Chains A and B, each alone.
Chain A
Amino acid sequence: MSETPLLDELEKGRWPSFVTEMKRMAAVKPYSKNILLQLERSYVERVTHWKHGGIVGVRGYGGGVIGRYSDLPPEVMQTPEVHTLRVAQPAGWFYSTKALRKLCDVWEKHGSGFINLHGSTGDIILLGAQTASLQPCFEDLISIGFDLGGSGGDVRTLSCCGGPAFCQWSCIDTLDIYHELTMELQDEIHRPRFPYKFKIKIAGCPNDCVAALARADLAIIGTWRDSIKIDQEAVREYAKKGVNIAAVAARCPPQALEWDGKELRVIPEDCTRCMKCLSALPKAILPGDDRGVSILLGGKATILQGAFLGWVIVPFMKADKPYRELKELTRKILDWWDENAKTRERVGELVYRVGMRNFLKAIGQPPAPQMVYAPRANPYYFWSPEELEEVK
């Protein structure tokens, strides 16, 4: 008789099964088997069996390890410590197999052998290690070139799209910005001292393949200020092959494209960089040359007051190496949030509470119509004393 009849049901079907993967480890590691058996018990009772995390970690860091203890009695769960390590992924989730194999060796030695590639924030998740294994595991990780990511009230592990490594639309060097910002913020990532979490994501173009807009407190999204570049020869080539260019033009939301049967013209000041025509005619249309980033603030899921989508706080900023302006802005925002937020208040909620007016002043950014869909429709706005002095 199987010890995991309910989980066995999840080995049926065509999709590869995580249960099969867990069983492979359970077959060789009693520790991993205990975790599997506890999971089966949750399936039977329809309830989780973890307690709130205790404080565990590695020397010198405050984050990167999530403490986990079983709530089952010791005779049922002999190894109640099942902590999780968050390991910062290389930019864009690119790996050499050499690096991945070393990671597997370290993890097989110190932990359950269960891995997520990757967690929702982006880290490699090493799922299940006992307290005594954490420090040696960390030191071995460091020795093979990996480091922990963030957890708790800190800057969380960043993430970015693959950008210039394979995508013609990337307007910025996403991988390098990821790496440079991550190195700049090592202390903020590893030692929680902030009111809550702070997520930063970097996408190379408005397609936003890392969903930064919806998920990051600070979304850095590549864009351009001049005009899309159209290769007329390639457009005609598409037309010859039967692609309906008039329909592509008709689908441009702000009606910025005109097709006269020979030439596809753009009205650059009307283009909102929605990427639709670039996606429809990838061989013919590319982003412009005056490239940089739009920065949006405040994206987050529902907890507490509701989900927020990031909104524009900097319509355009250049983002060339060494990214000084970008780094300075990030620090200004972090400091302001740190000083003003209540416990567990995300930066978007703070701005919502105190107003964009105060936020923009604090970070020294000028207000711009690009920041709103429409100006306010109520008459309740504030004047600062300095502004009234000016009038006098």
Chain B
Amino acid sequence: MSGEKKYITDIGPPHYREMVHPVLMKNYGKWRYHEYVAPGIIKHVSMNGDEVYMVRAAIPKIVSVYFVRELCDIADKYSDGYVKFTSRHNVEFIVTDKNKLDGLLRELRERGWPVGGTGRSLKAIIHTQGWVHCHTAIIDAPGLAKALYDELYDYFVRDDLPGKLKIAIACCLNMCGAVHCSDLAFVGMHRKPPVVNDDIVSRLCEIPTLVASCPTAAIRPAPEKKSVIVNEERCMYCGNCYTVCPGMFIHNPKYDCLSMWVGGNAVAGGPPEFSRLAIPYLPNNPPRWPECVQAAKKVIDAWIKNAKKGERIGDWIKRIGWERFFTLTEIPFTDKHIDDFIFSLPTFRTTTQFKWR
């Protein structure tokens, strides 16, 4: 007791009462409506007439402590020392004094922080960690995100797209983001089975767990070696075995690649939709992945040109049909596009009613 510092754990996150802007706290649960003022600016009005402006700006996924302190300086100046981050990793400044809006916008512009991402715009790209952190990363998601952002910048700061545009990137099939339900998504992919290192497998891996990790039962125990054997014909390169065991080395820069997916969403107004395969192979071409950027641009341009107002990419495709999608985007349709995994049957067309192109 005496003098000895107690070891404290399990305090949980800071309480939101200390973190939420006092004006938001005062009107907690008493909001009346909101209004889009301009791209990136939403006005919220409470039942007693209080008004706040939420100003949304994009920030890079990896920032330095210096950047965060600058962000704090801005918030001290314009939003009373409080900020909020969004579920898509933007920052929002909470402006209670309308007269401070211009100054804030000027300051953000000077620093080059894009303001936007509201309404019918490109939303912040949800992406994973990549080569700066992860041992299973096939591509560098932050780098591809930056290259895409530079190309699509205008769609973030304007809000006149046919509908919202949500892009996601995952650097491997673990997909630590909402890639499987995005309008457009890139995923890093392997194209070769893992190479088994018997020494590492026998020393570091639990064989039953490793065998069970394979979704296609491609891994068999090889008790004589205290290792395993991969049936290469069954392997669909998911990398799950490598996630559980370092002896199943699957990285192969010569063959690794990206894939592009389209048409998913996860919103209200109808059941959510999975993203579907658009392009099975795109080269892994850092630092700026030009082939991926162009592929995305092509689909987005076709969507902007052909979609009706209010249609997200998936809505548009649903209306015109996948046949027409492949025609309009000039993306080749291959055997890779036809599902042959576990839940494939419902994707087979069981009617003679379809379009020719």
Which residues from chain A sit less than 8 Å from chain B, CB to CB?
6-7, 9-10, 12-22, 24-25, 35, 39, 42-43, 45-53, 59-61, 66, 68, 82, 84, 88-101, 103-105, 107-108, 113-121, 127, 142, 145-147, 159, 161-162, 164-168, 170, 173, 175-176, 178-179, 182-183, 186-187, 190, 205-211, 213-215, 253, 273-276, 282-283, 301-307, 309, 342-344, 373
> Do B181 and A187 touch (CB < 8 A)?
no
Which residues from chain B sit less than 8 Å from chain A, CB to CB?
7-16, 18-21, 24-25, 28-29, 31-35, 44, 52, 54, 58-69, 71-72, 75-76, 81-87, 89, 91, 112-114, 126, 128-129, 131-138, 140, 142-143, 146-147, 149-150, 153, 170, 173-181, 209, 212-213, 215, 238, 240, 243-244, 246, 251, 253, 256, 266-272, 274, 284, 286-288, 341-343
List the A residue with the shortest CB-CB distance to B127: A120
How long is the Cα–Cα vector from A334 to B271 in the complex, in angstroms? 26
How long is the Cα–Cα vector from A66 to B52 in the complex, in angstroms? 39
Q: Which residues from chain B contact A165 at a C-beta distance below 8 Å?
A: 16, 20, 24-25, 28
> Do B135 and A182 touch (CB < 8 A)?
no
List the A residue with the shortest CB-CB distance to B269: A274
List the A residue with the shortest CB-CB distance to B42: A166
Of the candidates B31, B65, B143, the one whose C-beta lies within 8 Å of that of A166 is B31
List the A residue with the shortest CB-CB distance to B5: A139
Q: How far in angstroms is the closest Cβ of chain A from B224? A: 25
> Do A118 and B85 touch (CB < 8 A)?
yes
> Do A116 and B64 touch (CB < 8 A)?
no
List the A residue with the shortest CB-CB distance to B9: A60
Q: How far in angstroms is the closest Cβ of chain A from B184? A: 15
How long is the Cα–Cα vector from A142 to B6 in the complex, in angstroms? 12
Please name 18 pairs of A and B residues whose Cβ atoms are closer than 8 Å in the assembled complex, sorted by A.
A16-B60, A24-B66, A25-B64, A52-B246, A90-B19, A93-B87, A94-B83, A114-B63, A116-B89, A164-B28, A164-B29, A165-B25, A168-B33, A206-B268, A213-B266, A301-B176, A303-B238, A309-B274
Q: Which residues from chain B contact A159 at a C-beta distance below 8 Å?
A: 87
Q: Which residues from chain B contact A39 at a C-beta distance below 8 Å?
A: 131-132, 140
List the B residue with the shortest CB-CB distance to A182: B12
Q: Which residues from chain B contact A61 at a C-beta distance below 8 Å?
A: 9
Q: Which residues from chain B contact A303 at a C-beta distance below 8 Å?
A: 173-175, 238, 240, 243
> Do B85 and A96 touch (CB < 8 A)?
no
Q: How far in angstroms is the closest Cβ of chain A from B45? A: 9
Q: How far in angstroms is the closest Cβ of chain A from B81? A: 5
Beyond the given pairs A190-B10, A343-B209, 8 more chain A to chain B contacts, judged by CB atoms under 8 angstroms and listed by A's residue number, are A19-B146, A21-B60, A93-B85, A97-B81, A118-B89, A164-B31, A211-B87, A273-B268
List the B residue with the shortest CB-CB distance to A309: B272
Of the candidates B131, B150, B174, B269, the one whose C-beta lies within 8 Å of that of A276 is B269
How long is the Cα–Cα vector from A201 to B62 in the complex, in angstroms? 24
Q: How far in angstroms is the closest Cβ of chain A from B86? A: 7
List the A residue with the shortest CB-CB distance to B89: A118
Q: How far in angstroms is the closest Cβ of chain B from A209? A: 6
> Do B135 and A342 touch (CB < 8 A)?
no
Closest 3 CB pairs of A and B: A13-B150, A15-B149, A42-B131
> Do B65 and A115 touch (CB < 8 A)?
yes
Of the candidates A161, A162, A173, A344, the one whose C-beta lies within 8 Å of that of B213 is A344
Q: Which residues from chain B contact A14 at a C-beta distance below 8 Å?
A: 112, 114, 149-150, 153
> Do A90 and B16 touch (CB < 8 A)?
yes
Q: How far in angstroms is the closest Cβ of chain B from A100? A: 5
Q: How far in angstroms is the closest Cβ of chain A from B60? A: 4
> Do B58 and A214 touch (CB < 8 A)?
no
List the B residue with the shortest CB-CB distance to A93: B85
Q: A21-B60, A104-B68 are in contact. Are A147 and B269 (CB under 8 A)?
A: no
Q: Which residues from chain B contact A9 at a C-beta distance below 8 Å?
A: 287-288
> Do B178 and A215 touch (CB < 8 A)?
yes
Of the candidates B32, B66, B113, B134, the one whose C-beta lies within 8 Å of that of A50 is B134
| Interface-central residue, A96, A103, A373, by most chain B CB under 10 Å | A96
Q: How far in angstroms is the closest Cβ of chain B from A309? A: 5
> Do A43 and B143 touch (CB < 8 A)?
yes
By DSSP majority rule, is chain B's interface helix, strand, loop, or mixed? loop
> Do B272 and A179 touch (CB < 8 A)?
no
Q: Which residues from chain A contact B215 at a C-beta distance below 8 Å?
A: 304-305
Q: How far in angstroms is the closest Cβ of chain A from B201? A: 12
> Do A12 and B150 touch (CB < 8 A)?
yes
Q: Which residues from chain B contact A307 at a C-beta distance below 8 Å?
A: 180-181, 274
| Interface-central residue, B15, B62, B65, B114, by most chain A CB under 10 Å | B65
> Do B135 and A48 touch (CB < 8 A)?
yes
Q: How far in angstroms is the closest Cβ of chain A from B59? A: 7
Q: How far in angstroms is the closest Cβ of chain A from B276? A: 11
List the B residue with the shortest CB-CB distance to A308: B180
Q: Which residues from chain A contact B341 at a C-beta distance below 8 Å?
A: 306
Q: A10-B287, A18-B62, A88-B13 are in contact. Are A120 and B137 (CB under 8 A)?
A: no
Q: Which residues from chain A contact B34 at a C-beta distance below 8 Å?
A: 166-168, 282
Q: Which residues from chain A contact B85 at a C-beta distance below 8 Å?
A: 89, 93, 95, 117-118
How long is the Cα–Cα vector from A258 to B138 in the complex, in angstroms? 53
Q: Which residues from chain B contact A274 at a C-beta distance below 8 Å?
A: 268-270
How long is the Cα–Cα vector from A145 to B232 in the complex, in angstroms? 51
How long is the Cα–Cα vector from A46 to B252 in the complex, in angstroms? 9
> Do B64 and A92 touch (CB < 8 A)?
no
Q: Which residues from chain B contact A100 at a C-beta distance below 8 Å?
A: 68, 71-72, 83
> Do A207 and B267 touch (CB < 8 A)?
yes
How long is the Cα–Cα vector from A39 to B132 in the complex, in angstroms? 6
Of the candidates B67, B81, B177, B274, the one whose C-beta lies within 8 Å of that of A120 is B177
Q: How far in angstroms is the closest Cβ of chain B from A174? A: 10
> Do B133 and A68 touch (CB < 8 A)?
yes
> Do B13 and A146 touch (CB < 8 A)?
yes
> Do A306 and B21 touch (CB < 8 A)?
no
Q: How far in angstroms is the closest Cβ of chain A from B329? A: 23
> Do A107 and B89 touch (CB < 8 A)?
no
How long is the Cα–Cα vector from A220 to B64 in the complex, in angstroms? 34
Q: A42-B140, A305-B342 are in contact. Are A166 and B9 (CB under 8 A)?
A: no
Q: A84-B133, A115-B65 are in contact. Are A175 and B20 (CB under 8 A)?
A: yes
Q: Which residues from chain B contact A187 at a C-beta distance below 8 Å?
A: 10
Q: A101-B69, A104-B68, A190-B9 are in contact. Are A94 and B82 (CB under 8 A)?
A: yes
Q: Which residues from chain B contact A210 at a C-beta distance below 8 Å?
A: 87
List the A residue with the shortest CB-CB distance to B25: A165
Q: Which residues from chain B contact A21 at a C-beta distance below 8 Å?
A: 60, 62-64, 67
Q: Which residues from chain B contact A101 at a C-beta distance below 8 Å?
A: 68-69, 72
How long is the Cα–Cα vector from A226 to B32 in the complex, in angstroms? 19
